[in-house]
Amino acid sequence: MRASGVIFATSALLTFAVFLGILIWTAPKPALIAVCLVGLALAVFDFHRTAIRRRPAGR
């Protein structure tokens, strides 16, 4: 992944985290907090998977 792609992905992940933080701050319900945390965990996993993607050998 190019440096610009990593910067864009990082800013998107941080924006998503801030959005979920604001959502939890305004409506602190336990189920909503759980859903937001799971969504954030999946986003972090996807970010890590795409940022550390390696090219196959032989290409």
Mean pLDDT of the 38-53 span: 83
Is the CB of residue 32 less than 8 Å from the CB of residue 21? no
Spatial neighbors of 5 by CB under 8 A, at least 6 apart, are none
Q: Return the sign of the alpha-carbon dihedral for residues 24, 26, 31, 36.
A: negative
Question: For residues 34 and 1, which has the higher predicted lDDT (pLDDT)?
Answer: 34
Please report which confidence band the pLDDT of residue 56 belongs to, taking 50, 70 and 90 as the band edges: low
Say which residue the tokens 């795409």 belong to: 50
Kindly report the pTM of this predicted structure.
Answer: 0.67
Q: How much is the pLDDT for 6?
A: 77
Per-residue tokens: 14: 């941080």
Cα gap 59→56, rounded to integer Å:
6
